[in-house]
Structure 1
Amino acid sequence: MISNKHVVVDIHTHIYPPSYIELLASRDQVPYIHKPTAGDPRLIILPSDDDQSKPVQNRGRPIDASYSSWEIKRTFMTLHGINVSVVSLANPWLDFLPSSESPKWAKTVNDDLEKACLEFNKEASSSICKLFAFGTLPLSASADDNRAEIIRLKTLRHLRGVIMGTTGLGLGLDDPALNPIWQALQDTETMVFLHPHYGLPETAFGGPEVVAKSGHVLPLALGFPLETTIAVSRMFLAGVFDRFPNLKMLLAHSGGTLPFLAGRLQSCVEHEREFIANGGCKQGPKRDIWEILKTNIYLDAVIYGEPGLKAAVDAGSVERVIFGTDHPFFPPLGAESDAWPSVGTNYAAIPGAFEKNEDIVEGILGGNAIKILGLEI
């Protein structure tokens, strides 16, 4: 565990506010909350989870109080020496809603988050356990509705950006239909926290039977980070960062495998014969991936090891990597009062990788987030 001489900011921590729980509980199609006769409710988030032949305990994700309780969030922060949390919805956000409903729900959820932050911070003493949030967007609605909500979020005191999934409107983040949203986010200097949505299809790992042998290990360990890597690589290749050079994106899970594969990605671009730069007829990216990593992209430190953390810092810069926990996911399997091994691993990697540079440790733990997001501590 890190000494409390540092201000610690958790940039990657999730919550389902009451309005969102209400929305999911009112539905009977994926995604929805299933309430069994015994045990915790289950969030049915994938069509494959909506299989009535499966036992309830094998369907979806258990949703206990840790997903929605602000008091449990405060207890978690206190237990792990976290001074500030920037909370966000987890998937599936509001992407499943029809365009007629998503603006109303985006406003409701974002106002819920703002109210919770205000009340949470009133109870805080000094700088201990304060709360900010990333809002959510009505992606399925019109570009005007999304722009209006992005602008409105800038008027809410505790909202510091938005969270988005890697599928966008269902066609990926290089979908031209997202251009007005990228423009609005750039114009307002709004940070985008990019988070994987559903991982890779089971066929990528050999099919359902192969995946079942190891539970959720393959989808979580490989599927989620590869989903992020592919999504951002598609944005890069499609010239999204060329058209929106001031777009700011915080990538979950240290950018997946992007820091490690950036050099290979750039080399393949430079050797692609079909790109105009190499005599072809297709417009490839005009800026290289290394420039984008150092100017457009920020990475959380949810990487669980020193080698990955060093790669994240080397790919971007020491000022662009920020601590996170991914709470309430990866809880301890022992007593509820125990410190979380997943959090301890992320904590230990920071001084382990940069033990001789106290400034880097301080920056990753909280200083970078305070500057980047303008947090009032």
Structure 2
Amino acid sequence: MRIDIHSHVIPDRFITALKKTPADFLARLETHGEHAKVIHDQGYVYPLFAEFRDPQAKLESMDRKGIDISVISPAPPMFYYWADIELALRVAGLVNDGVADMVAAHPARLRGMATIPMQHPDAAIAEMERVVREYGFKAVEIGTSIEGAQLSEGRFRPILRRAQELGIFVFAHPYYVGAKAGLEAYYLTNLIGNPLDTTVMVANLMYSGVLDELPDLKICLAHGGGFVPYQIGRLAHGHKVRDETRADSATSPRQLLRRFYFDSLVFEPQALRYLIDLVGSDRVCIGTDAPFDMGDEEPAKAISAIPGITQHEHDDVCCRTALTLLAEGQSGF
């Protein structure tokens, strides 16, 4: 069995509301023949692929890639972290209820992941509790930063603590926020900027003491953890020799690395081999980033190409790690 932990949707509930009153959402839908795209005032522009909104199209894509189960999460433009509390809660409700609709249509093959309005912590906690209570969601997707604010900041701690108490996991996903010097050309805002944002988030979580304070919090990192696995030695060395890095945590980043889970989306078999050797196969799971063009169209091939992969490692990456995150046993399938 193969479980994809990183698969995006934009549910019809949101699209219907956007069509009706685009000004309310500071975004619009443009259609040219059979092709539609969503344009956000914040700067996002992306094609509205059928797989984003149609559960059957999602299943057809999964079948093509050899995926048995997908944990579907809102596309990052659905975060709306800049919005006031009324709009932020409206978008989160539309999106999360829409995700639940898709899961209800195919409960054997889809699992839901919610978005929450992080910029309004009390509202974020309330929405997180609602989706767990009403839909049994086992995960929330959170940006690696919140309009530039770091997840390690004290105001976000109650949200992370409540996620730990609820036993759900956090899927940390970067998203484009503002200009990044030197990354303007060649799509580097994504190619380098996204893994960089993940790296900055992880370093702040490690050094700030958040992971010490919340020992049972489960965090899964998109895109193989960004640059963290490759630079963990530098982070650990800095913790040893620099007083600044020990101000809030006495725990070495090397010890904290296995507090994270990682998806497989690195596009290089040798890099996946290194990641498994570094953190263990029980911390790595499939991620496709479907249906974006930076996704993996052949995840089964990517796993099989890992040099020297054992059957145990293969089964961990394909399903056992994801089952651990979802707190589900194979008997449930």
TM-score between the two structures when normalised by the length of structure 2 = 0.89
Distance 1:187 1:244 in 2: 10
Q: Which residue of 2 aligns with 1:366?
A: 319
Match of 1:89 among 59, 74, 78: 74
Distance 2:161 2:223 in 1: 25
Distance 2:308 2:260 in 1: 25
Answer 1 or 2: which has greater helix percent.
Answer: 2
Match of 2:265 among 299, 302, 308: 302
Q: Which residue of 2 aligns with 1:67?
A: 52
Q: Which residue of 2 aligns with 1:269?
A: 239
Q: Which residue of 2 aligns with 1:8?
A: 2
Give the ranges of 4+ consecutive aligned residues of structure 1 lying more than 6 Å apart after TM superposition: none
Equivalenced residue count is: 328
Post-superposition offset of 1:94: 3.3
Deviations 1:209-250 (A, max 9, x none): xx1xx3x3x222211111111122122222221222221100
Q: Which residue of 2 aligns with 1:52?
A: none
Amino acid at match of 2:50: A
Post-superposition offset of 1:159: 1.6
Distance 1:135 1:67 in 2: 15
Q: Is it true that 1:132 corresponds to 2:111 in the alignment?
A: yes
Match of 1:178 among 130, 144, 156: 156
Q: Output the aligned Cα RMSD.
A: 2.4
Amino acid at match of 2:168: T
Q: Is it true that 1:109 corresponds to 2:72 in the alignment?
A: no
Q: Which residue of 1 aligns with 2:287?
A: 324
Amino acid at match of 1:363: D
Amino acid at match of 1:20: F
Distance 2:60 2:158 in 1: 40
DSSP-derived class of the 2:219 partner:
strand
DSSP-derived class of the 1:353 partner:
coil
Amino acid at match of 2:112: A
Q: Which residue of 2 aligns with 1:335?
A: none
Deviations 1:240-262 (A, max 9, x none): 21222221100000100101111
Amino acid at match of 2:311: E
Change (3 A) 1:172 1:44: farther
Post-superposition offset of 1:158: 4.9
Distance 1:133 1:140 in 2: 22
Q: List gaps (5 residues or longer) in structure 2.
A: none
Post-superposition offset of 1:170: 4.0
Q: Which residue of 1 aligns with 2:137?
A: 159
Distance 1:236 1:305 in 2: 26
DSSP-derived class of the 2:150 partner:
coil
User: Would the aligned equivalents of 1:31 and 1:43 in 2 still touch at CA under 8 Å?
Assistant: no
Q: Is it true that 1:204 corresponds to 2:182 in the alignment?
A: yes
Post-superposition offset of 1:45: 4.0
Q: Is it true that 1:350 corresponds to 2:303 in the alignment?
A: yes
Post-superposition offset of 1:186: 1.6
DSSP-derived class of the 1:155 partner:
helix
User: Would the aligned equivalents of 2:147 and 2:177 in 1 still touch at CA under 8 Å?
Assistant: no
Match of 2:255 among 291, 299, 324: 291
Change (3 A) 1:251 1:152: same
Post-superposition offset of 1:28: 3.6
Answer 1 or 2: which has greater strand percent.
Answer: 2
Q: List gaps (5 residues or longer) in structure 1.
A: 1-6, 50-59, 125-129, 278-282, 332-339
Q: Which residue of 2 aligns with 1:248?
A: 218
Q: Which residue of 1 aligns with 2:36?
A: 41
Amino acid at match of 1:306: P
DSSP-derived class of the 2:251 partner:
coil
Distance 1:8 1:366 in 2: 5
Q: Is it true that 1:314 corresponds to 2:292 in the alignment?
A: no
Change (3 A) 1:149 1:30: closer
Amino acid at match of 1:320: R
Amino acid at match of 2:100: E
Change (3 A) 1:305 1:73: same
Post-superposition offset of 1:42: 2.7
Q: Which residue of 1 aligns with 2:197?
A: 227
Change (3 A) 1:136 1:21: same
